[in-house]
């Protein structure tokens, strides 16, 4: 539990407006754009000044971005650490400069930094649960078992690490399923397509593709079709994020199931900062609930998707 009066954590004084930083990892897909839009909209709504940076996929640049926010003397920093370890020195530097940090969306290595001591809290999805729910759906919906190709997210990122852990751990308990290959596609559509193409050639008997996000799942559809196979028939495709594009593909029968990972952080992020300023107890983790989509509900819910 983090309190603004908690020994060691910087406080946030009660003001009617703040200058806050938001250090984004990159803007290479609709999920990240939806997250940024949500943060910018909430800042505007509250009349807070938002210092926004985009690390363009570089953890090193994100470190520099956070350090520049510290130099600018922002009141608080919202940070989505691109990878679990490289941002920790910057988080500690913010603390040293008396600037509280709230982690959004991605977390840091818990053996090196802790909520309530180094940063206020982590707001985001439970990525392990996301991976487990996808694996559970697969086991429940593919009675004959299967050979799985796994497309991993950005190496070293908490969603990639945890979505792998959640899925692989569940699958390990079901001997009729086997993960025949697992490789990073860096959460990117074209990299996902390239990796899926290579792995499908190496494992022609693979009949399931589990992608850690929609971008790579959509790339994998192209790879399956390029291999002369029918997505949804010869190869089941599973994903995480739940954007409008992937839900339409579920409706079209090309994608089997998707666990949501809601990108709309703005309201909860700013509410948490205001609560922290008011001295309220802030839990070390604030978990966003995630929907789960398949052919049974995608058409009903697509209009609620980002």
Sorted by sequence, the CB contacts under 8 Å of residue 133 that are 6+ apart come out as: 166, 259, 290, 292
Q: Which is nearer to ligand GZL, 4 or 36 (CB)?
A: 36
Least Å distance, CB 125 to ligand GZL, is 6
Q: Which is nearer to ligand GZL, 9 or 55 (CB)?
A: 55
Q: Which is nearer to ligand GZL, 97 or 301 (CB)?
A: 301
**Cα 21 from Cα 36, distance rounded (Å):** 12
User: Which spans of this chain sit near ligand GZL (rule: CB under 6 A)?
Assistant: 29, 31-32, 105-106, 124-125, 159, 187, 213, 215, 240-241, 261
Q: Which is nearer to ligand GZL, 19 or 264 (CB)?
A: 264
**Cα 193 from Cα 215, distance rounded (Å):** 9
Q: Which is nearer to ligand GZL, 12 or 216 (CB)?
A: 216
Least Å distance, CB 301 to ligand GZL, is 18
Least Å distance, CB 215 to ligand GZL, is 6
Least Å distance, CB 97 to ligand GZL, is 26
Q: Are strands 177-184 and 19-24 parallel, antiparallel or unpaired?
A: unpaired
**HSE on the CB side for 23, CA within 13 Å?**
32
Least Å distance, CB 241 to ligand GZL, is 5
Least Å distance, CB 285 to ligand GZL, is 14
Q: Which is nearer to ligand GZL, 106 or 193 (CB)?
A: 106
Q: Which is nearer to ligand GZL, 77 or 277 (CB)?
A: 77
Least Å distance, CB 21 to ligand GZL, is 18
Q: Which is nearer to ligand GZL, 88 or 97 (CB)?
A: 88
Put the strands of the sheet holding 49-54 in their side by side order.
49-54, 19-24, 76-79, 101-104, 121-124, 285-287
């Amino acid at each position: 539990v983090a309190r603004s009066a908690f020994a060691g954590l910087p406080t946030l004084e009660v003001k009617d407006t703040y200058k806050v930083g938001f250090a984004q990892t990159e803007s290479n897909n609709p999920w990240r754009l939806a997250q940024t839009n949500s943060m910018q909209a909430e800042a505007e709504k509250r009349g807070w000044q938002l210092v926004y940076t985009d690390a363009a996929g570089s953890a090193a640049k994100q470190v520099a971005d956070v350090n520049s926010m510290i130099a600018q003397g922002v009141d608080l920093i919202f940070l989505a650490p691109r990878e679990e370890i490289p941002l920790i020195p910057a988080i500690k530097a913010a603390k040293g400069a008396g600037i509280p940090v709230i982690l959004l969306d991605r977390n840091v290595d818990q053996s090196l930094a802790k909520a309530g001591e180094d940063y206020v809290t982590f707001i985001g999805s439970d990525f392990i649960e996301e991976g487990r729910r996808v694996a559970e759906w697969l086991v429940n919906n593919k009675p004959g078992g299967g050979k799985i190709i796994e497309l991993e997210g950005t190496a070293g990122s908490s969603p990639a690490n945890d979505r792998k852990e959640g899925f692989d751990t569940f699958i390990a308990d079901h001997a009729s399923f086997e993960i025949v290959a697992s490789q990073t596609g860096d959460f990117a559509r074209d990299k996902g397509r390239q990796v899926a193409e290579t792995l499908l050639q190496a494992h022609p008997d693979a009949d399931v593709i589990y992608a850690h996000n929609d971008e790579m799942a959509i790339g994998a559809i192209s790879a399956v079709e390029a291999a002369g196979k029918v997505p949804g028939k010869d190869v089941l495709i599973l994903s995480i994020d739940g954007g409008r594009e992937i839900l339409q593909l579920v409706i079209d029968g090309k994608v089997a199931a998707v666990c949501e990972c809601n990108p709309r952080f703005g309201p909860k992020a700013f509410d948490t900062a205001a609560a922290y300023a008011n001295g309220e107890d802030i839990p070390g983790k604030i978990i966003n609930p995630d929907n789960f989509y398949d052919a049974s509900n995608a058409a009903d819910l697509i209009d609620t998707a980002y």
